[in-house]
Amino acid sequence: MKIRLKLILSFLVVTGFVAVSGVLGVRLADQISRFRHQELSMEQSLGELKLVSFVDALQNALVLTGAHLGTNNIEVKCQNLDKIPPLYADQNMLEEVLLNLLINAKDAILAGTDGGGEIIFSAESTDPPVIAVSDSGIDIPRDVENKIFDPFFSTKEVGCGTGLGMSVTYGIMQTMGGRIDFLRDENMKKTFLLTFKSTDLVS
């Protein structure tokens, strides 16, 4: 994460983004501040990871996004979440990951419709635990799939995002000993896979 943050800050200075003004500048500054805070938070929490409930973390993330999702007729569906064992993670970090995924899915849905869609969280009994997150929003162009976790990359319209949310999510999952991957299911539907550290490896 330190290297990724340094590269981002260097990019800002070189390109002059640090001097950007207006709403975008405020949002960008806020994202960078959160990115820096996240780096420090992750470093401080490395020795404090413990078993936490995925369902509890998702419910907390939905408290922050539920009203906006409901206003736009976006339904969150949960499939087999009762099969998820306690996860080796940091509660706050996990909630940040889920919040970023919910916002990303919401934006993808609204980019293709005036409202109405679904976000699906599904799981199977596997070790290590794996959770799939998909939505009914617009697709991600195949020629940019390999860039979606890059800092400042965004498929949104100019001014609608800074492209740091998924990069932060990628860093958090790595810090917790897991990973996030992008793939397409058997129906070619875009899906994010969250893989968590096996509880068998927890000492």
Whole-prediction pTM: 0.73
pLDDT tens readout for residues 15-43: 334 443 344 444 455 555 555 555 555 55
**21 in helix, strand or coil?**
coil
Which letter, b or e, does each residue of 85-116 get, where b requires 16 or more Cβ atoms within 10 Å of its Cβ? bebbbbbbbbbbbbbbbbbbbbbbbbeeeeee
Q: What number is the average pLDDT over the span 94-122?
A: 90
Strand ranges in 9-107 using DSSP code E only, listed in sequence order: 50-52, 74-79, 87-89
Structure confidence at residue 191 (pLDDT): 92
138 CB contacts (<8 Å, ≥6 apart)?
Answer: 108, 109, 111, 112
Structure confidence at residue 193 (pLDDT): 95
Cβ burial, residue 168 (10 Å; 0-12/13-18/19+): buried
- Determine contact, residues 74/107, Cβ cutoff 8 Å: no
C-alpha–C-alpha distance, residues 4 and 10, integer Å: 10
Mean pLDDT comparison of 55-59, 141-145, 154-158, highest-scoring range:
55-59
Residue type, 102: L
Residue that is written with structure tokens 């936490």 in the block: 52
DSSP summary character for residue 75: E
C-alpha–C-alpha distance, residues 138 and 16, integer Å: 31
Q: Which domains does the chain have, with CATH numbers?
A: 50-201 (3.30.565.10)
DSSP string, 91-148: HHHHHHHHHHHHHHHHHHHHHHSSS-EEEEEEE-S-SS-EEEEEESSPPPPGGGGGGT
